[in-house]
Amino acid sequence: MLLSGLAVAGTATPAAAASWCNTTLGDFVSGGDHSLAQIPAYNTTRDCITARGASGSHVKAIQRSLRYCHGRSSVEVDGHFGEITETQLEIVQRALRLDDDGVYGPKTRDKLRWRASDGVCGTLP
């Protein structure tokens, strides 16, 4: 019996190596006095990814950022990462000169402005 196969090797990027977001963590953002925002996280680390099909508090944090800090008024803060959230994230990623893949990861996290509990929008330190 003759078996043949093809193996493809690649290197993992930091975003590809990150775990899927499953919660949020509070963190201070610039732009206000002690402004605390909820940032997507995987357990106790903010290094995570999320994309279309995900749902939860971490998606709401991204949607708040898009809607209130980046002017993407078509984004509903419903906790479901659907087509509109994906498309609007791509637009913001493009404006921030990131890969506009519609996937949230560490590079996107570091460039987004986050909506704090006091209404201030700011970036992570």
pTM, rounded to two decimals: 0.85
pLDDT for 34 equals 74
- Residue 88 pLDDT: 99
In tens, the pLDDT along 29-74 reads: 997 677 899 999 999 999 999 999 999 999 999 999 999 999 999 9
Nearest to 62 by CA among 35, 94, 89, 32: 89
Map out the domains of the chain with their CATH numbers.
15-116 (1.10.101.10)
Residue with tokens 């493009």: 94
| DSSP class of 34 | S
Res. 3 pLDDT band, cuts 50 70 90: very low
pLDDT digits over 86-118, tens only?
999 999 999 999 999 999 999 999 999 999 999
